[in-house]
Amino acid sequence: MTNLATLTIADARELLRAGEVTSRQITEDCLAAIGEAQALNAFVTVTADKALAMAEAADGRREAGDDSDLLGIPLGIKDLYCTEGVKSQAASKILDGFTPPYESTVTAQLWEAGAVMLGKLNMDEFAMGSSNEHSVYGPCVSPWRRSGDATPIVPGGSSGGSAAAVAADLCLGATGTDTGGSIREPAAFTGTVGIKPTYGRCSRWGIVVFASSLDQAGPFAKTVRDAAILLKAMAGHDPKDSTSADLAVPDFERALAGDLRGKRIGLPREYREGLGAEVEALWVRGAEMLRDAGAETVEISLPHTKYALPVYYIIAPAEASSNLARYDGVRYGYRAELDQGDGVIEMYEKTRAEGFGAEVRRRVMIGAYVLSAGYYDAYYLRAQKVRGLIRRDFKQAFAEVDAILAPTTPSPAFGLGEMQGDPVAMYLQDVFTVTVNLAGLPGISVPVGVSGTGLPLGLQLIGRPWDEAGLLDAAFALEQRAGFTARPERWW
């Protein structure tokens, strides 16, 4: 039988229901694949014993008549999610040794649905990054390589471990989080599907916070159908999260028809600026695919797009600066060694200086600056006003269209270390994704083509608030017509 780790969730579900395979068999193949993929550094904690026990429990539930969609499906979990009894470090030295005594709401729902936990996945420290190079575990490496070039490629960030693990068939699906593109950008870089739902669709409780008004949980998967299956289990109201929406969760998989007749898809003219030729050509082809599915495409304007990156890099660091103030070395995690005579202030200063990586320190300092008394009005307050204008742009656009098609990233994935010396160039990787978070909208990246250097390219669809069902259906139509079947050549 083929390696079961290469299955999609939907295919594995059917084989499990037919009794042709067991969850334990799939889990064993995934664990073997993880063991052979150390060079990727995607999994940073492997919970093999726990995974096998959960798989056997799932097989027992199935024998007793349970037929749940995710029953027995092995998943990887981003290190940002708190998992009871399993190290959850947010890829930061400052959380060294932290083992939560509780489970995040999203992972608790996945385990209740019968999913199996394979382990924790690499990420940028505190979800701050676009390349997964800012991690206490070391960088994660994409399973993809440029044609004829052995240069290691980044998987994108911050959910790089999740994207790399799904792309390399180490797990059948994975969880991620998206604050400014941290699901969609890695999905585009690795040829996987990643959806960021509407802000409030999934609970944030038990997920280590970066920016409270922007963070949102979501899944990585091999197909749009798999993403729909995962999202249904992850979504739902949570009384423990005041930002969680008390709305019914639709059956997202049932909405997948791929027939877009009568639908209007917007193409924002502002997104052409700074776009590479390959990605622009892909965008044009993507629009043709949606028209082939019956949709009408229309040009729209999102005039405040040019302000999105500066607004994001004011609001997100400001919220991060506030949220990360709790890491002081007193109650849990890393504490610096002190010199004789050092007091509590020195303990705070040394612990935070040693515990936070360079990118986190950079954003905390930016955030503290824009929130300071002399600059609050000039920066933070003004950014919040412009954020309102960006929201209004989308509201006006969605009065005319049902969804928006846009590039996910301005270019294919880049090599490890190629942008390390230029933080601004790195931040520009988020130029097409941050608007979605600022407006609280759902967005999904779908693999559509391959670059001239052999790397995957994705397109992004943006939907109306709470219309993940319609968004997934449009993504399904795009996926069907793109026919993306490229796989990374195994080098690890």
The residue-averaged pLDDT of 326-352 equals: 93
Residue positions counted in the chain: 492
Q: Report the CATH fold assignment for 4-260+469-482.
A: Amidase signature (AS) enzymes (3.90.1300)
Active site amino acids: 78, 158, 182
- How much is the average pLDDT of 156-171? 98
- Segment 151-169 shows an average pLDDT of 98
- Whether the model clears a pTM of 0.95, i.e. scores above it, the answer is yes
User: Does residue 421 have a pLDDT over 90?
Assistant: no
pLDDT digits (tens, 9 = 90+) for 202-256: 999 999 999 999 999 999 999 999 999 999 999 999 999 999 999 999 999 999 9
Q: Which residue has the tokens 């933080």?
A: 423
- 1 pLDDT above the threshold of 80: no
**Predicted confidence (pLDDT) per residue in 73-110, tens digit:** 999 999 999 999 999 999 999 999 999 999 999 999 99
Secondary structure element (H or E) that encloses residue 28, with its range: helix 23-35
Q: Output the CA torsion 257→433→74→10 (10° steps).
A: 10
C-alpha angle 436-437-441 in degrees, rounded to nearest 5: 55
The confidence score (pLDDT) of residue 458 equals 98
Please give the order of strands across the beta sheet that includes 264-268: 43-46, 116-121, 74-78, 173-177, 217-221, 193-196, 443-450, 456-463, 403-407, 264-268, 296-300
Kindly report, residue by residue over 444-457, the tens digit of the pLDDT. Answer: 999 999 999 999 99
pLDDT for the residue numbered 232: 98
In the chain, what are the domain boundaries? 4-260+469-482
Taking 90 as the threshold, does the pLDDT of residue 275 lie above it? Answer: no
The predicted pLDDT at position 93 comes to 98
Angle separating helix axes 23-35 and 9-17, nearest 10 degrees = 140
The burial class, CB within 10 Å (0-12 / 13-18 / 19+), for 354 is middle
